[in-house]
Structure 1
């Protein structure tokens, strides 16, 4: 019996949005209006493809992009939390489910030396093509009407838990840590003794509070524990071990 920690990445593990942080590698750190105005709600990954095409057009090197990504700040207390998880892998499994991409997350975790804390990352695949441009693909297709077209985090978590169960791994408690609207759907996977941990002041906390206030609404079964720093999460985690 072990504990599962599930993390969002942007504005959760790191204290910014990795997809918008990459713009810092551009001259003037700005995108042209033609790219900025091309975003359509629910189609973020396609938009990021256009962002990375523009960065490629500017002949920004791979190393320059990576160097910029490695400067993104971690959320307060998060490095201590991830260090604790990496030191207790016999009792804690840890996964990341994110709408960022494989390259950004890998670069950021490796630069901090914290990659050993994370067992698996579920995010949009990214690679550099033959022309030197980064390509970002959708993680999967799904039929959930509540989530962006490229990623339903509930579906990812359900499949992960099912595969773990097939291998004889049952989790005593699951902590889901996130901040955004797309972190609401996976809370449906959680049980009464699990915990959904929304970041204070962010969209997920507001969604959960609004649901709780509505009569007849279906709130998550899990306990809601609001956090402001990684220290809050670490305190809850230690209390469960």
Structure 2
């Protein structure tokens, strides 16, 4: 039985938001007010579609966008964590579940030399169209009331575990590492013996660790992290 490491991406693997980082490729490194005002709660992916259309309208080429995205900083210790996972693929699998998009994540992981550490990426599909514009689609449809319309990370995780089980792969321990409010849903689906690791000072920690009696129903153990090295130490202890 192997260990499964599940990673969020923005403010977890990387120390910023990849969707807002891309704005640095625009001439003024900011979006016009009319565009920013179109952002609606729970509809971030639709908003990012408009952002990328605007960037395309500015005649910003794919190479220029990629150059900017490859400068997103990794969170302290994350490269060490991913390189450890890559060296121990016989003992562990690693997936990313993110509300970013497939193009950004692939570019950034390859720039860090750690794409091989990640077995699968579950995120919003993206591709460049015939105009050279990056188009972004919603990850999937779901009926979870507490998640954004485009992505329920609990559903993704459950579907992945079910598929793996069907193929004869079971996990002794699942580590779920994240930072945001949309990481609470999958964290609550973990079982006893699993470990959820919220980033210190971020929304997920506040939701899980400062909820008082409401957090008592959580089955997984909660371990707060500040760097990838904290996560690595916890994983090494579990694997050994």
TM-score (norm 1): 0.97
Tell me the residue number matched to 1:240.
Answer: 238
Q: Tell me, which stretches of 5 or more residues in structure 2 are unaligned?
A: none
Report the counterpart of residue 147 of structure 1 in structure 2: 147
Give the whole-Å Cα distance in 1 for the aligned partners of 2:146 and 2:139: 16
> 1:82-231 to 2 correspondence within 5 Å?
82-211=82-211, 213-214=212-213, 219-231=217-229
1:43-97 Cα distance to aligned partner (Å, 9 max, x none):
0000000100110000001000000000000000000000000000000100000
Shift of residue 132, structure 1, vs aligned partner = 1.2
Q: Does structure 2 conserve the Cα–Cα contact (< 8 Å) formed by 1:96 and 1:118?
A: yes
Q: TM-score, normalised by structure 2?
A: 0.98
Distance 1:218 1:61 in 2: 50
Deviating runs (4+, > 2 A) in structure 1?
A: none
Native 8 Å contact 1:18 1:72 kept in 2: yes
Q: Secondary structure at the match of 2:230?
A: helix
CA contact 1:9–1:97 (8 Å) conserved in 2: yes
**Which piece of structure 1 moves more, 143-152 or 127-136?**
127-136
Confirm or deny that 1:78 pairs with 2:73. Answer: no
Where structure 1 has 5 or more consecutive residues not aligned to the other structure, the ranges are: none
Alignment coverage as a number of residue pairs = 239
1:20 aligns with 2:20: yes
